[in-house]
Structure 1
Amino acid sequence: MSGTLYLVATPIGNLDDMPPRVAATFGAADFIAAEDTRVTLRLLNHLGLKKPMVSYYEHALHHGEAILQRIEAGENCALCSDAGMPCISDPGEQIVREAHERGIRVVPVPGASACVTALAASGQPTAHFVFEGFLPVPKKERRARLAFLQNETRTLIFYEAPHKLRTTLDDLAATFGGGRSVSLCRELTKLHEEIVKTTLAEAVAYYRENDPRGEYVLVLAGADPADTEPDAAPTLEEVVAAARALQAGGMPPAAAAKQAAAGTGFSKGEIYKKMVSEG
């Protein structure tokens, strides 16, 4: 009989946030699949547990097949990331996807998640949001992703490491404008936790003079829906008036009609005929 794959959330910083069910699941599991076995070993030592471990980190995902085979053979596996809910912006998602394909039972053991924790404390709108995780590193891919998000009206959540924060803030300000509201949530639940609601321009200026420290969650306000609505289509009369203004400036009537009609849905001939008939 196949075993079970447990997705076990770990504290995002403060070990006092450890739910009893998490500790119990680690204790009952036959083995643990960890993002980084060194990090998880410290957690198990805190709980007074000793368990066989295997890494499922991105560069060792060939271990995924071995993990799934052990579960199919009847062992129960507790899969965890270094912090927070596993499989969110985390390579463990591949193992979960394959577990479902193979009919393996998947059981979540929930706990804290940095993105939701930051959103709740950010002061930004929480009814609708988009989790983006880490932006792509290659410049071309990053620009494309930010361009795609430019008119997003939902609150946006990003993760960032301290050594990349300045570049990311520069890119966000260039894409969304320096006046866009952002909350920088740093070292959540840890000793130096800090949550600051500001603007992108102010954040850029601050970190130009101060070194970023710790892991960051950036919670960015979405675009104002009024700013993303397309302008109302001009009426025929408005387009004809624009053509007349061009004509008054010295442009020949046919050329004025062509330029005014561009992109409006009205034809050059339609505008020119109206100009002549009312001329």
Structure 2
Amino acid sequence: MAKGSLYLIPVPLAQEAEKASYTLLHADIINHIKEYVVENEKTARKFLKEAGLKRPQQELIIHDYGKHQREKINYHEIFKNAVAGEDIGLMSEAGCPAIADPGSDVVAEAHKRGIRVIPMVGPNSILMSLMASGFNGQHFSFLGYLPIDKSARSKKIKDIEQISQREKSTQIFIETPFRNNQLLAELLKSCKPQTKLCIACNITAGDEYIFTQSISQWKDTKIDLHKKPCIFLLFAG
């Protein structure tokens, strides 16, 4: 018997983002699949409803791989039906699953079991911010979170600035939203005046903000990033 497939289904980045495109792209798959692995069940069920789910939600099988469930997740149970031939879906809380997202562990387990993995088209804040930055899109690195410790973070910023200048590469990183302003302050303190910084904030939301300028120009710019999802991109090449 042929095994099922694992579909990687993107979720909108912002609550008010246009839903029509997602419905058109994924409605057939969403109404085909009845079993999902999700990071946030409430978010996932809301998205499925808005994306045109016709199946009654009580018929769905939902596996939670959220923050408090990952250490005790039962992959045998998750992939039991897929091994038997049923297709399943994977969704993160927002954006593309498995990109800066713990869903990559689920994908790795699918490969171990010989289950085909099918990525679906959808929004990704990292790539969208790179597209809009004006920086090198052929040579870039995503670094995830920088160190929390101030001295270690300052050293890391100077290191990646040197790498960017030497390799003419774009350096991309993120921070927990409530620490965005502290990270920006450290970037302004540690980087050279001519180094360029792009801040991409609340991508696809009504107050989306994506702007690129030099560190010296950012020092004269008043901006509050507190509790807003942001992507930071550095280019010193």
**Aligned partner (choices 37, 42, 49) of residue 38 of structure 1:** 42
Structure 2 counterpart of 1:163, from 178, 193, 197: 178
How far did residue 213 of structure 1 move? 5.3
Deviation at 1:40, TM superposition (A): 1.1
Residue 194 of structure 2 is aligned to residue 194 of structure 1: no
- Structure 1 residues 205 and 117, CA gap change in structure 2 (3 angstroms): same
Partners of 2:213 and 2:158 in 1: CA distance: 22
Equivalent residue, structure 2, for 1:63:
73
Q: 1:102 to 1:180 in 2, by over 3 A?
A: same
Equivalent residues, number? 222
2:214 is the counterpart of 1:214: no
Contact 2:180/2:225 (CA < 8 Å) preserved in 1? no
CA contact (8 A) 1:64 1:95 kept: no
Residue 7 (structure 2) pairs with residue 6 (structure 1): yes
Question: Does 1 or 2 have the higher relative contact order (CA < 8 Å, sep 6+)?
Answer: 2
Q: Distance in 1 between matches of 2:233 and 2:94?
A: 19
Cα contact 1:132–1:156 (8 A) shared by 2:
yes
Structure with the greater alpha carbon radius of gyration: 1
CA deviation digits over 1:241-275, x for unaligned, max 9?
xxxxxxxxxxxxxxxxxxxxxxxxxxxxxxxxxxx
Which residue does the alignment assign to 1:104?
115
User: Do structure 1's residue 92 and structure 2's residue 107 form an aligned pair?
Assistant: no
Distance 1:146 1:197, change over 3 A: closer
**How far apart are 1:19 and its partner, in Å?**
5.5
The 5 Å alignment of 1:1-279 reads 1=1, 2-13=3-14, 14=17, 15-18=19-22, 20-49=24-53, 50=57, 51-61=60-70, 62-65=72-75, 66-138=77-149, 142=153, 145-146=156-157, 148-153=159-164, 154-203=169-218, 206=221, 210=224, 212=226, 214-221=228-235, 223-224=236-237
CA distance in 2: counterparts of 1:55 and 1:186, whole angstroms = 28
CA displacement, residues 26-73 of structure 1 (integer Å, 9 cap, x when unaligned): 211121111111111211221342333222124312325131234223
Distance 1:93 1:211, change over 3 A: closer
TM-score, with structure 2 as normaliser:
0.81
Point out where structure 2 has 5 or more consecutive residues left out of the alignment. Answer: none
Going from structure 1 to structure 2, the CA distance change for 1:113 and 1:210 (only over 3 Å counts) comes to closer
TM-score of the two chains, using structure 1 as the length reference: 0.70
- Provide the rounded CA distance (Å) in 2 between the counterparts of 1:108 and 1:165: 30
Q: 1:128 to 1:109 in 2, by over 3 A?
A: same
Q: Aligned-pair distance for 1:133? A: 2.7
Residue type at the aligned position of 1:42: K
Q: Which has the higher helix share?
A: 1
CA–CA distance in structure 2, aligned partners of residues 202 and 55 of structure 1: 45
Partner SS for 1:152? helix
> 1:205/1:69 Cα in 2 relative to 1: closer, same or farther (>3 Å)?
farther
